[in-house]
Amino acid sequence: MPSVARPKPKAVAIDDKIRTVIFDLDGTIYDKRGLAARMVSRLWWCLPLLMAERFARRNAHYVQFASEEEFFDFFFVTMARGHWWGPRIAEKWYHLVYLPTMVRLIRRYHRIRPEARTLLRLCRKRGLQTAIYSDYGSVIEKLEALNIEYAQFDLLVSAPQLGALKPSEPSARRVLELLQADPKTTLFVGDRDDKDGATARAVGAEFLLIN
């Protein structure tokens, strides 16, 4: 039987001057292809809420809120606008249905990307500081679902915790501050140039695109 050649993961490297590596999570640490379609097929019974979540997320882009509480107040009010449900139902659905479903699907169908595995190994070998900076919540749950030891990271943070989705210069500066990192020796790693790349550029840090 002919053997099927597996595509080799692309070589990834980190410049010697880099001391801190900040990873995006979804699409960067794991390949998220197929996840959106799976979410729709699992949550077809609440499709209007799923669409309202997309709508609220789009509306929250490029808005800086003073706190996580303000971010989610806006988010759930926007999700409820023009619908029969109120913000509190949107909030319950988001935390009790939407995020747990995403975590379950990641556990079942998704794996760590080879490039991410290589980069994480390289960071450990060189003793670099690492962080996860994600636009979504449930960071620990997703890392556990992917069998990734979350305690290896120096910081786990979601964009809403900092009051704004990516790209946000104040939030990126806050992440650097929490890590006591210099942007000149920091590398952002992500699958979206318009989000992760723009975040890196906003603070003058380097960016590595994984896609």
CA-to-CA distance for 112 and 210, rounded, in angstroms? Answer: 13
Distance in Å, CB of 2 to Mg ion, minimum: 36
Stretch that binds Mg ion, among 23-31, 63-71, 142-150, 203-211 (CB under 5 A): 23-31
- What are 135's two structure tokens? 């636009």
Distance in Å, CB of 34 to Mg ion, minimum: 15
Rounded to the nearest 10 degrees, what angle do helices 47-60 and 35-42 cross at? 140
53 binds Mg ion (CB under 5 A): no
- From the number of C-beta atoms within 10 Å of its C-beta (0-12, 13-18, 19+), residue 71 rates as buried
Query: Can you tell me which of 21, 191, 208, 210 binds Mg ion, judged by CB under 5 A?
Result: 191
- What are 35's two structure tokens? 């996840």
CA-to-CA distance for 138 and 13, rounded, in angstroms? Answer: 28
CA-to-CA distance for 61 and 163, rounded, in angstroms? Answer: 11
27 binds Mg ion (CB under 5 A): yes
91 binds Mg ion (CB under 5 A): no
Query: Can you tell me which of 20, 21, 22, 26 binds Mg ion, judged by CB under 5 A?
Result: 26
CA-to-CA distance for 73 and 160, rounded, in angstroms? Answer: 11
Residue type, 205: A
Contact 34, 42 (CB under 8 A): no
Stretch that binds Mg ion, among 25-33, 51-59, 78-86, 96-104 (CB under 5 A): 25-33
24 binds Mg ion (CB under 5 A): yes
Distance in Å, CB of 164 to Mg ion, minimum: 16
CA-to-CA distance for 102 and 190, rounded, in angstroms? Answer: 19
- If the CB atoms of residues 52 and 142 are measured against Mg ion, the closer one turns out to be 142
Distance in Å, CB of 195 to Mg ion, minimum: 7
Stretch that binds Mg ion, among 27-35, 65-73, 145-153, 203-211 (CB under 5 A): 27-35
163 binds Mg ion (CB under 5 A): no
Three-state SS for 150? Answer: helix
- If the CB atoms of residues 85 and 118 are measured against Mg ion, the closer one turns out to be 118
- If the CB atoms of residues 90 and 103 are measured against Mg ion, the closer one turns out to be 103
Contacts with Mg ion, residue ranges (CB under 5 A): 24, 26-27, 191
